[in-house]
Chains A and B, each alone.
Chain A
C-alpha cells in the first residue's frame, strides 16, 4: 500500500537575481513498512527532497499526497499537526531536549503528538521502547551524560514512540563511528519492521544503504535509476 506519493516536485531557490533549480520534477512513492534510502552526491538535492516530503518546507510546484491530503495545499498548522502525529524524525545529531531525562523525552513526544494513550499505556509503551533500544537502565539520565550512540538510540525511540506512519531520517548515522552506526541502523530497521513504519532515509554511507529495502539515487536534482 502506498503511504506517501511525491508527484512532479520542483524546488527553486533564488540567490540574488539567479534562480537555482534544486529539484527538477521528482516523483516517487513510499510503500508501507519499507525503508527507502535516498542517496547521491552532496548538493544533489536529497535532503531538500526529504524535508519537502516531511512538510518542513513547501515545494515550488508539485504535490505531496499523504492520506488523501496534499501537503502542498495544507495550511502550516495542519502540516505541523501531521508532522507531530504521523511523522517521526531522526536527524544527523540526536537533538534531544537537554533538560529532559531519557524517559521524559519520550513522554514529551507523546504529548506533542496528542497521544490518546492513558498513563499506564504510555508507561508500558515507553518501557517497551526503551528496552528495544536497550536504554531502559538509563531512563532517568539526562542527555549530557549519554554517549553519541546512546543519544541517537534515544532519538530513534523518540521518533517512534508515538508510532508514526512515516519515519524521516536525515543521515542518522553521520555523527557515529562504524560500530555505533551498525547498532543504530540494525535497531532502526528492526523497529520500523516491527511497528510497520515506512521510512525515508537520506544517506551517503554505503554501509547504511545496506539496511534499506530500496535505494534511489539522486543526481543534479533528478532521480537516476533505482540502484
Chain B
C-alpha cells in the first residue's frame, strides 16, 4: 500500500497549498531564467551564437574590446596562414532611416567568414528586430560619420550586441566610418590551433562576454535571484515536511513499533515530494513556455528546453534534499515513547 499517496488523497488541501507554492516559486524561477537568457541574448547574441572557439584581443587593451587594435600586418599574416581565422570589429553607433529617425546599432564588420553576415560595399545587413521599427529591404540608411549610403539588403535572426541590433557592414565602409585600418578582435574556431603571441590575450566566449560592459552585473544579479528561488524552494520542502513530520512523530513511532521499516517511511515522504514537485513543475513549465511562445517580440525573454530541464532537475534534487533532511525526524521517532504517549 502506498502510504504517501493515501496521505495526499486524505489531506488534499495541505498538499495543494505546498504544490501551489512550489508552482509559484518554480514559475518565477523559469520566468526570471527566461528573462536572464533573453537579456543575455539581447546583450551578446553575436558572440554567444559563434561556434565554440577562442577570441583574441590586443594584450594592451586589458580586456576591453573597444581599446583593442590588432596590428594589420600581423592580422594579414595570420589570415594568410589559415582561412579559419576571422578578424572582426564591433562599434556602437547609430543609423538614420529615410524619415531621419535614429536607430541605435552595433556596427560589425569582419574578414570573410561563415560565422558573420557579409555585406558588400554600400550595403548593410541588419538584425531582424529593426523590422519592427519599420525598416525594410531596399531602405537607404545613413550615418553621420559615413559619407556614403547603406542599402538594407537583408536581415539576420538573433544578432544583437550590448542590447543593440547588429548592423553588418563591409570592411571598406567600416574603415571609412571609423578611420582605421585595423580590426579589434580575432576569432578562431575550436579545432584551430591557438595563436601564441605576447601581443594578444586569449578569451573563451564566456570570458569575452564578461568584457561587455554591464553583462556580468546584469547576469550576476539575475542568476543570484534564480539561485535564491531554488534554495527557497528546497527550504520550503524542508520546512513543510519538517512540520508534517513533527506532527506525525508519534505515528511514526507506532508504525516502527508494529514493524514498519524506517526506509518505508522515507520512501513515503520522497514519493510525496516527487509527486508534488513533478505536478507543480508540469504546470510552471507549461505556463512559462506558453509565455515564451506568446511573449511580445521586443521583450527579451528566451527560455530554452535545456535550461528548463536543468532547472527542473535542480528543483527535484533540492526538493529531495529538503525532504530528506526533514526526514531525520523519522529516524529519531522512538516506538517506546510513542506507545507511552496519547493518541497521535
Contacts and interface: CB of A to CB of B under 8 A. Distances in A.
Interface string A41-65: 0000001000100001100000000
A51 B335 CA distance: 10
B62 interface: no
B7 to A, nearest CB: 4
B11 A99 contact: yes
A136 interface: no
A16 interface: no
Interface in A92-109: 92-95, 97-100, 104, 107-109
A97 B336 contact: no
Contact of A107 (B1, B11, B339, B342): B1
B199 interface: no
Contacts of A108: 1, 3
Contact of B258 (A94, A104, A109): A109
Contacts of B258: 83-84, 89, 109, 112, 158
Given A83-B258, A99-B3, 15 more contacts: A77-B261, A81-B259, A84-B259, A84-B260, A87-B259, A91-B339, A94-B343, A95-B251, A95-B338, A95-B339, A95-B343, A98-B344, A99-B11, A100-B1, A100-B6
A160 B339 CA distance: 18
Contacts of B260: 84, 112
Nearest to B341: A93
Nearest to B261: A80
Contact of A80 (B11, B259, B338, B339): B259
From A98, A99, A100, name the one whose CB has the most chain B CB atoms within 10 angstroms.
A99
Interface residues of B, number: 25
Contacts of B251: 95, 97-98
Nearest to A51: B336
Contact of A83 (B9, B259, B340, B344): B259
Contact of A56 (B1, B255, B335): B335
A97 B255 contact: yes
Interface string A68-92: 0000000001001101110101011
B243 interface: no
Nearest to B9: A99
B165 interface: no
10 contacts: A56-B257, A83-B259, A93-B343, A95-B338, A97-B255, A99-B9, A100-B6, A100-B10, A112-B259, A142-B10
B229 interface: no
Contacts of B7: 99
A34 interface: no
Interface string B196-230: 00000000000000000000000000000000000
Contacts of B10: 98-100, 142
Nearest to B344: A95
A141 B122 CA distance: 84
Contacts of A112: 258-260
A150 interface: no
Interface in B1-56: 1, 3, 6-7, 9-11
